[in-house]
Amino acid sequence: MAFSLLHRFRKYRADAVAEFYQHIRPLLEHPQVQEMGNYIQHNCYTRLNHCIDVAYFSFFIAKLLRWDSKSAARGGLLHDLFLYDRKIDKEEAHHHLRRHPITALENARKVCTLNKVEENIIRRHMWLITLVPPRYKEGYIVTFVDKYCAVREAIIGQRNRRALALAEGAAA
Ligand SMILES: [Fe+2]
Ligand SMILES: [Fe+2]
């Protein structure tokens, strides 16, 4: 009984992962999306790593709730599609929190045709920091998953930095 349940869970997860990659593969292959791999988002995480994580968790939550998991995955992947370094570009850094969803949406429209849910996910993902909330329920998933991933990346980055400092100390 327990074995059968575990087997079914593993099969469900494997099928869901395959479905997730089927949804995002065409976008992942786009050069602009790949370019996100050249920018650091939080600590040791590139923007591409961050966006894939946001897309992945959002997809699974939406799928479990039987909501629009494809739009959650695609909107999640493209939600931070801006191609500048916040720390280097001081002009952009100043307005970054409010402006980057607009920039990401402009860039995402050049990558593929977006539906209205995906457009709104990208445009409103900074809600709570910005005032206007998402229009669709999938947007709430992405906005909260985004914040969870940012905190997680910051904590993991701190841990990695501390481990590196300890290792360097031990080697000295
Ligand atoms: Fe963002
Ligand atoms: Fe983000």
CA of 50 to the centre of ligand 2 (A): 7
Helices (H), the chain: 2-28, 31-35, 47-64, 69-78, 90-111, 116-123, 137-171
CATH for the 2-171 domain, from 3.40.1350, 1.10.3210, 1.10.10, 2.60.40: 1.10.3210
pLDDT in tens, 67-118: 999 999 999 999 999 998 877 666 666 788 889 999 999 999 999 999 999 9
**Ligand number nearest to the C-alpha of 47:** 2
Helices (H), 112-136: 116-123
The answer on pLDDT for 44 being more than 90 is no
Report the alpha-carbon distance of residue 115 to residue 130 in Å, rounded. 22
Domain ranges of the chain: 2-171
CA of 95 to the centre of ligand 2 (A): 16
pLDDT tier for residue 144 given thresholds of 50, 70 and 90 = very high
pLDDT in tens, 148-171: 999 999 888 777 767 767 767 766
